[in-house]
Structure 1
């Protein structure tokens, strides 16, 4: 959450950010969400993630704002059913839209959409969504609520990063193209289009691994690794995820987010106290 008098904050404009910065923004947000999901006895689901709820501080660190729509999942359960909708259409999965069911996967779906938008930029992202909808007159209600599924499936078959990557990022190296493919693949896993849906902790770990690959000297000019197995970047990311210490990541998450959550609780407590004093 953002507090006056602490630091200046700026609205997120992905079109003004280079590729490395966009990856770091995605990691910052996934880290914050992973903390909400794992740091408390009952997981908290943010459920209203969109670019409108992300600000950058003066150090360039991405922050979530407005925790008023957070919900906690009851102990022993994996979801909670809510009475009212909260969030941005396009960032909400079908289970939440149709049935009001909120789970950790609600946030995972939203981070997948955020990753896609960071990769494409607002213009290309919106253009693809509009083209997909205008060309499918026979879509049923479920498909209309889903963010361009046909396009996502097409990208899986033949990814062309030069057509979907935001041109505002300028010239893209072969190494960065490999990163973008891994970035896109992760987003499609988050939205349930490829493989098993990851947890938010796994998303944060994989985003960190993707960033490290840019600084790995094992890339050849063609973008392939020079290891004996010639694994691609996404395979390296999966291997890294299997060996990384989850507890170390959670300690990092706690340092990043705990102070802001504490201030948010205190601020709401003071509001409650002042309101009760006025009533008396």
Structure 2
């Protein structure tokens, strides 16, 4: 058995200027929102930052100063507001691999906390909390943006527009023998509902580069799929205002050598974003 946790929100919701990256490496989401769109508090998780290719450029290399911050999308163009905190300066790092190393030297993932938004409500460009690069230590940088490769889950209602109606998705394999583990599959539908007409990208991800580890010895893991697509590629759906669209969540098991008898379990995340 493993349980796939759902995190209500509309993921990476920069509707105007931002689209989901072709290769995501930084995963974050909002688990809870309070208040109203103009005055909101978000409980967030920055789940992981996967290794970067050696030649991916740092967008703020050569600036007079560049801070990596934990922040939220404050304006419709994707620029940040007041930083939760500033992590490290990286203007001397030519590549994102160096930026990641600098952040990893002072932070441990997952990073959890709360962020506050006080300002204009965002509709087509929904709020999210993630890792930003910006020229000011405390935030409020007009040139600040989410780091490239960010998959940044947007806020659920009452502040945001969309949510997953189910609680935890329990994909239960029951009793299964070792010879039947490889490629064993289980599936279940979830339902996405929005209070605005929205085009939504649904993402499913595990903690190990997208996979869900099921044994600490790495002998068993699960790959995730949404409507038949790899989980981190995701499924794009069009949700009408106050409507609901189903999405199939599937897990497929894979083995790595012999698997000892006994219980197996793990968890992943479902994130909503905008394509």
* TM-score band, normalised by shorter chain: under 0.3
RCO comparison, higher one (Cα < 8 Å, 6+): 2
User: Going by fraction, where is strand more abundant, 1 or 2?
Assistant: 2
User: Going by fraction, where is helix more abundant, 1 or 2?
Assistant: 1
